[in-house]
Amino acid sequence: MHRILRVKDILFLIVLTIITSCSTDENIVNVYSGRHYQTDEQLFREFTRETGIRVNLVKADTDQLINRLELEGVNSPADMFITADAGRMIQSMEKGLLQPMNAEVIRQLVPANLRDPNFYWTGFTKRARVFVYDKSRVNPDELSSYEELTSEKWAGRVLVRSSQNHYNQTLMASIVAAHGQDGALDWAKGIVHNMAQSPRGNDRDQVKAIAAGVGDVAIVNTYYMGLLLNSPNSEERNIARQMGIFFPNQNDRGTHINISGAAITAYAPNRDNAQRLIEYLLSPGAQSVFAEQNYEYPANKNVAWPALLKEWGRFNPDTIPLDQLGKHLQPGMIIFNQAGWN
């Protein structure tokens, strides 16, 4: 059964229904995307130039798009679904909203841990969830792991987003996978104890709070640092230059990795076009655009990193298959609540 929607969600769905084409067209691919980046739109335009297939794009909050797919059911015009988080992609698959893709190209290009084993979804970019720290107040030798960030020396010094943030939810799922629910609860309580302030804002806001002296170290996705370092705002660039990046857990399981994922929807009227677009986003040219302009790591294992990502350094990633994190998402939310991580 569908959960009861709020009034604003219903109005949102009505508006989207009005603006989205519902007809099948061999020259169209309808994309529901939870990503909001100019790089994506640039690549969609290039895909249209190369193929003649027009990308009809609907952007919204990922959870709203999942609700819409559920409500539309077999009448959905959507061909392709994009999320900025593996956890939401896994949930969409479990709800029956996706169908398997053709595996041949994806198997060749994307490492197994970054895609569904039955090819219901695949990552097309990846991010590392790292520590950002003030270089004048923190010696990187003090840093080591997500677990060590709960030690008393970090009391009142840690900055992190809300538990409602998708990136933190998937990170928590990885902690549950590594330590079990009891260990994850201990970790969450330790982070809450060491928070410099109640969670607020996005990842960039955590970095700005370090610069303001609120805390000393933050849990942040790597690509946000790229956005700050290349911001048109000189103050943001200056803030980013004060910061160092540290990759946690290099002596054990590796740094947590998340993905932006793509999938073909369960009732896609233009399935072949969606497959072509997914394969295009995994092509070397598109992967280089994501890496050079949005500072995300390529999911295509054959694509080289650009200069900035190389400057941050090579690191050992956590190689747990992301599809295995799905079963830990709901226990993780309960743990957040038990720990008082709002």
State how beta strands 80-83 and 257-265 pair. Answer: antiparallel
Domain assignment present for 110 = yes
Query: 217 pLDDT band (50/70/90 cuts)?
Result: very high
Total of domains in the chain: 2
pLDDT digits (tens, 9 = 90+) for 238-256: 999 999 999 999 999 999 9
Domain assignment present for 2 = no
User: Average pLDDT for residues 303-311, to the nearest whole number?
Assistant: 96
Domain assignment present for 321 = no
One domain for residues 97 and 57:
yes
Q: Is pLDDT at 13 greater than 60 in this prediction?
A: no
Weakest mean pLDDT among 2-6, 196-200, 220-224, 282-286: 2-6
Q: Give the pLDDT confidence score for residue 91 in this predicted structure.
A: 95
Weakest mean pLDDT among 12-16, 131-135, 194-198, 229-233: 12-16
CATH value at residue 56: 3.40.190.10
One domain for residues 133 and 167:
yes
One domain for residues 56 and 37:
yes
User: Average pLDDT for residues 329-341, to the nearest whole number?
Assistant: 97
| Location of structure tokens 């230059």 | 241
One domain for residues 308 and 227:
no
Looking at the chain, the whole-number percentage of residues with pLDDT higher than 90 is 92
Domain assignment present for 16 = yes
One domain for residues 121 and 135:
no
> In which domain, by residue range, is 34 found?
7-126+258-314
User: Average pLDDT for residues 312-323, to the nearest whole number?
Assistant: 96
One domain for residues 122 and 136:
no
One domain for residues 114 and 16:
yes
Domain assignment present for 308 = yes
One domain for residues 152 and 248:
yes
One domain for residues 204 and 331:
yes
One domain for residues 121 and 131:
no
Q: Is pLDDT at 287 greater than 80 in this prediction?
A: yes
Q: Is pLDDT at 294 greater than 60 in this prediction?
A: yes
Strand extents, DSSP E, the chain: 28-33, 54-59, 80-83, 98-99, 122-134, 158-159, 217-221, 243-246, 257-265, 297-298
Mention every residue, 6+ apart, whose C-beta is less than 8 A from residue 201: 161, 208, 209
One domain for residues 23 and 112:
yes
Domain assignment present for 322 = no
Query: 26 pLDDT band (50/70/90 cuts)?
Result: confident
Q: Give the pLDDT confidence score for residue 25 in this predicted structure.
A: 55
**Residue 62, CA distances (Å) to 33, 34, 116, 257, 310 in order:** 7, 5, 19, 19, 31
One domain for residues 140 and 122:
no
User: Average pLDDT for residues 213-229, to the nearest whole number?
Assistant: 97
Domain assignment present for 1 = no
What's the CA gap between 170 and 303, in Å, rounded?
Answer: 25
Domain assignment present for 319 = no
CB 51 within 8 A of CB 245: no
Q: Give the pLDDT confidence score for residue 15 in this predicted structure.
A: 43
pLDDT digits (tens, 9 = 90+) for 134-189: 999 999 999 999 999 999 999 999 999 999 999 999 999 999 999 999 999 999 99
pLDDT digits (tens, 9 = 90+) for 84-98: 999 999 999 999 999
User: Average pLDDT for residues 47-63, to the nearest whole number?
Assistant: 97
Token couple for 25: 């067209």
